């Protein structure tokens, strides 16, 4: 009945993407920005068509019994549409990084050597329910001069198809190849397997989703993967921390939102201040219903506090697995450490190398923490929640990398580029 050939479809998308990538790499900044502005305009004008497509996905999701938060993520509300449209306009307003030349220096031979930033080529994006990612990925592809092949979640296929049509229209309007951004037209899972195993067409894969999905993709991919695994982030409160600041940062890092990967999952407190600090932060956690999984010292301190005992604070004895766990919930692990040395050692052992922060006034401790904590983002006196492409000033975020290779931490447009060497000579030859 179904004559659709997934492998053929993917090969076609790959070949078209490769061809489009060559034209995108040559496109000038004004043309790419025109496409981004056209896309924003089309998004705002497409209200009814998008709503109709989205309605189909929502009806199917509801009929399939998806949970309310899952259905929520699928929704293309006017607010979501306005946000992605604004995102396109912001990208259009950003400086173009393609063609940037850095480090041009004369060498002893006389040649001048520098590096030019160029698009990486074709990226594949694999994501789950939120259809707005379709526009985010498309706009990043346009701005960075790359081609993209997008594989969204099957539950959002109708919404994604409607959005991809807007992207094609905007590309055509600006005179760019419509194959620069292509949506995989099938929900067949085999398409993912194909997409990650076409090194002849795809230069890098960016998966967004749960840890299981990303591990599976990393294991099977034949091309590099910009991967984001888990976020077991810590805040360490040092001996000299200002209490008000420490309370504010720890509270924000844990409770401002529970689900982001940059929320804190572990609190470390220097023994020198634990007796004073722990009851105060625990009172805040208790009021917000945050469960505290404590090492024996922290548990003793908190259980000895009468005010806290009466507040319904949930103080639980931590087990070994608590130190490694990413709760993404109203739970935090708490450990009293000897000082900055033990804090660094604990973090380097248990953290997921995502984001870790120290609260301190001590310059030497701050410097040691910055240098020695082996995480993608290391902070002094700031909330771990800042680990984000927009907050870091990247202008856009493709994802967050927990890898050390190529890109580490929040990945902006530059993560979709590479640097080639350019050499300017006056007839020099090698002797």
- Can you give the binding site for its own copies, defined by CB under 8 A? 22, 25-26, 99, 105, 107, 109, 111, 113, 116, 118, 120-121, 203-204, 224, 242, 244-245, 248-249, 251-253, 256, 348, 357, 370-372, 374-383, 385-387, 391-393, 404-406, 408-410, 418-431
Smallest distance, its own copies to C-beta of residue 108, A: 8
Whichever of 39 and 247 has its CB closer to its own copies, that residue is 247
Smallest distance, its own copies to C-beta of residue 247, A: 10
Whichever of 4 and 22 has its CB closer to its own copies, that residue is 22
Smallest distance, its own copies to C-beta of residue 31, A: 15
What is d(CA 293, CA 334) in angstroms, rounded to the nearest whole number? 6
Whichever of 176 and 249 has its CB closer to its own copies, that residue is 249
Smallest distance, its own copies to C-beta of residue 255, A: 10
Whichever of 301 and 394 has its CB closer to its own copies, that residue is 394
What is d(CA 92, CA 98) in angstroms, rounded to the nearest whole number? 14
Give the CA distances from residue 193 to residues 82, 157, 178, 185, in Å, rounded to whole numbers and listed in that order. 33, 18, 24, 15
Give the CA distances from residue 102 to residues 51, 105, 167, 309, in Å, rounded to whole numbers and listed in that order. 46, 9, 32, 60
Whichever of 301 and 396 has its CB closer to its own copies, that residue is 396
What is d(CA 57, CA 71) in angstroms, rounded to the nearest whole number? 9
What is d(CA 300, CA 233) in angstroms, rounded to the nearest whole number? 24
Smallest distance, its own copies to C-beta of residue 48, A: 35
Smallest distance, its own copies to C-beta of residue 419, A: 6
Whichever of 188 and 242 has its CB closer to its own copies, that residue is 242
What is d(CA 369, CA 203) in angstroms, rounded to the nearest whole number? 35
Whichever of 88 and 382 has its CB closer to its own copies, that residue is 382
Is-contact 122 206, C-beta < 8 A?
no
Smallest distance, its own copies to C-beta of residue 314, A: 24
What is d(CA 333, CA 318) in angstroms, rounded to the nearest whole number? 7
Smallest distance, its own copies to C-beta of residue 424, A: 5
Following CA atoms 204, 210, 211, 217 in sequence, which dihedral angle do they give, to the nearest 10 degrees? Answer: -40
Is-contact 241 361, C-beta < 8 A?
yes
Smallest distance, its own copies to C-beta of residue 10, A: 20
Whichever of 53 and 358 has its CB closer to its own copies, that residue is 358
What is d(CA 426, CA 110) in angstroms, rounded to the nearest whole number? 8
Report the DSSP pairing between strands 147-151 and 181-183.
parallel
Whichever of 274 and 378 has its CB closer to its own copies, that residue is 378
Other Cβ atoms less than 10 A from the Cβ of 32: the count is 24
Whichever of 144 and 159 has its CB closer to its own copies, that residue is 144
Smallest distance, its own copies to C-beta of residue 334, A: 19
**3-state secondary structure (DSSP) of residue 68:** helix
All residues at 6 or more sequence positions from 45 whose CB lies less than 8 Å from its CB, including other chains: none
Following CA atoms 23, 26, 31, 32 in sequence, which dihedral angle do they give, to the nearest 10 degrees? Answer: 80
What is d(CA 116, CA 102) in angstroms, rounded to the nearest whole number? 7
All residues at 6 or more sequence positions from 371 whose CB lies less than 8 Å from its CB, including other chains: none
Give the closest residue to 251 by CA, choosing from 276, 286, 299, 302.
286
């Amino acid at each position: 009945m179904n004559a659709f050939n997934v492998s053929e479809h993917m090969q076609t998308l790959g070949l078209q993407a490769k061809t489009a990538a060559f034209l995108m790499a040559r496109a000038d900044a004004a043309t790419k920005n025109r496409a981004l502005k056209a896309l924003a305009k089309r998004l705002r004008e497409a209200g009814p068509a998008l709503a109709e497509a989205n309605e189909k996905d929502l009806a199917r999701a509801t009929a399939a019994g998806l949970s309310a938060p899952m259905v929520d993520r699928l929704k293309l509300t006017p607010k979501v549409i306005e946000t992605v449209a604004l995102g396109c306009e912001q990208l259009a307003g950003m400086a173009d990084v393609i063609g940037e030349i850095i480090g041009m220096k004369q060498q002893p031979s006389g040649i001048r050597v520098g590096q030019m930033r160029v698009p990486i080529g074709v990226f594949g994006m694999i994501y789950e329910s939120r259809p707005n990612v379709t526009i985010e990925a498309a706009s990043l592809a346009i701005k960075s001069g790359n081609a993209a092949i997008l594989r969204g979640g099957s539950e959002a296929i109708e919404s994604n198809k409607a959005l991809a049509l807007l992207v094609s229209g905007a590309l055509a309007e600006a005179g760019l190849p419509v194959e620069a951004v292509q949506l995989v037209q099938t929900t067949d899972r085999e398409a993912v397997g194909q997409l990650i195993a076409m090194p002849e067409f795809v230069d890098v894969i960016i998966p967004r989703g749960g840890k299981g999905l990303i591990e599976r993709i990393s294991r099977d991919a034949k091309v590099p993967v910009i991967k984001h695994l888990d976020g077991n982030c810590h805040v360490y409160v040092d001996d000299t921390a200002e209490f008000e600041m420490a309370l504010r940062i720890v509270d924000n890092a844990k409770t401002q939102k529970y689900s982001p990967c940059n929320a804190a999952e572990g609190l470390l407190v220097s023994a020198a201040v634990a007796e004073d600090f722990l009851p105060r932060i625990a009172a805040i956690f208790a009021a917000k219903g945050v469960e505290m999984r404590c090492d024996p010292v922290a548990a003793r301190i908190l259980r000895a506090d009468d005010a806290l005992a009466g507040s319904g604070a949930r103080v639980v004895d931590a087990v070994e697995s608590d130190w490694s766990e990413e709760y993404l919930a109203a739970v935090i692990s708490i450990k009293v450490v000897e000082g900055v040395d033990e804090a660094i050692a604990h973090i380097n052992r248990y953290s997921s190398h995502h984001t870790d922060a120290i609260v301190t006034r001590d310059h030497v401790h701050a410097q040691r923490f910055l240098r020695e904590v082996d995480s993608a983002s290391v902070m002094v006196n700031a909330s771990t929640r800042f680990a984000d492409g927009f907050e870091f000033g990247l202008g856009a975020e493709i994802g967050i990398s927990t890898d050390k290779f190529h890109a580490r931490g929040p990945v902006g447009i530059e993560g979709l580029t590479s640097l080639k060497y350019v050499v300017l000579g006056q007839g020099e030859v090698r002797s």
